[in-house]
């Protein structure tokens, strides 16, 4: 009887111990994911139209996001001039303004993302132009100096 009771307890405890271990591990991973994304988001550098002509600081590994007004229905978009060494281009996306999402031809914001990949000084120069008009001057130019440490 004692042997049977002992085996029964061990069999019942094994899944319970597995559940506790799995739960603690899952909870720990969840905490790490939440705090990791909070710190990652807090460390991004956000640049807007108001930063034109300014110098900003970044740290190697940070994401730099440039958000500028845009209206791709006109054919215009922000294009990177040259190759901003020290920065790795990640992506460019257009986000429609909330009030314009239901209106054809409404503007919004173009977001260009870069990663600071090496230390040094570099300029991000963006031209607002139609990509097929190679010989035409841009309608607007945006420049920001970046000091990567």
pLDDT, tens only, 116-149: 999 999 999 999 999 999 999 999 999 999 999 9
Residues with Cβ within 8 Å of residue 66, at least 6 apart in sequence: 47, 48, 78, 111, 112, 113, 114, 124, 126, 142, 144
Per-residue model confidence as pLDDT tens digits over 78-115: 999 998 999 999 999 999 988 766 677 789 999 999 99
Count up the domains in the chain and report the number: 2
Q: Are residues 3 and 76 in the same domain?
A: no
Q: Are residues 14 and 55 in the same domain?
A: no
Q: Which of 43, 58, 76 is the last residue of a domain?
A: 43
CATH code at 62? 2.60.40.2020
Supply the range of the domain harboring residue 65.
44-148
Q: Are residues 74 and 20 in the same domain?
A: no
What's the pLDDT score for residue 2? 54
């Amino acid at each position: 009887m004692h042997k049977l009771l002992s085996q029964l307890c061990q069999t019942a405890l094994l899944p319970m111990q597995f559940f506790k271990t799995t739960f603690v591990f899952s909870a720990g991973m969840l905490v790490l994911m939440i705090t990791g994304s909070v710190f990652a988001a807090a460390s991004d550098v956000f640049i807007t139209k108001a930063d034109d002509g300014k110098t900003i600081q970044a740290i190697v590994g940070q994401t730099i996001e440039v958000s500028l007004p845009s209206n791709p229905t006109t054919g215009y978009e922000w294009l990177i001039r040259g190759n901003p060494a020290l920065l790795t281009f990640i992506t460019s996306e257009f986000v429609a303004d909330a009030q314009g999402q239901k209106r054809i031809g409404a503007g919004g914001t173009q977001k260009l993302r870069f990663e600071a990949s090496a230390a040094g000084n570099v300029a991000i120069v963006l031209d607002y132009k139609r990509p097929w008009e190679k010989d035409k001057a841009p309608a607007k130019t945006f420049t920001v100096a970046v000091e990567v440490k």
